[in-house]
Amino acid sequence: MTAGPSDDDKKAPAEIVPFPFSRVKPNRTADFEGVIYGTLAREIGIPVEQTTGHWCSYCQKIWFGYLLEVACPTCGSRQG
């Protein structure tokens, strides 16, 4: 019995497919008054371009805030 590579090891690596629109900047004419921002992002006054989108599984929507914020500003869920 030899200790060579198996047939599974000889397969080509999987191709990485980028998520569409993952690096798209917000539209400059968009209405940002209806956007939900996290508490820390509002207190610090972070510009829209520097906020990060977070998904709330309970509200079923995206809210924007500081990178380290975890609590949804609508329902307070920290589960994402």
Q: What is the mean pLDDT of residues 14-38?
A: 65
Sequence ranges of the domains in the chain: 33-71
For residues 11 and 18, give the distance between their C-alpha atoms in angstroms, rounded to a whole number.
21
Q: What is the mean pLDDT of residues 31-39?
A: 73
Query: Could you tell me which residue, 69 or 2, shows the higher pLDDT?
Result: 69
Q: Give burial (CB, 10 Å; 0-12/13-18/19+) of 45.
A: exposed
For residues 57 and 55, give the distance between their C-alpha atoms in angstroms, rounded to a whole number.
6
**pTM score, whole prediction:** 0.54
Q: Could you report the per-residue pLDDT of 39-48, keeping only the tens digit for each?
A: 888 888 888 7
Amino acid at 68: L
Q: How many CB atoms lie within 10 A of CB 66?
A: 19
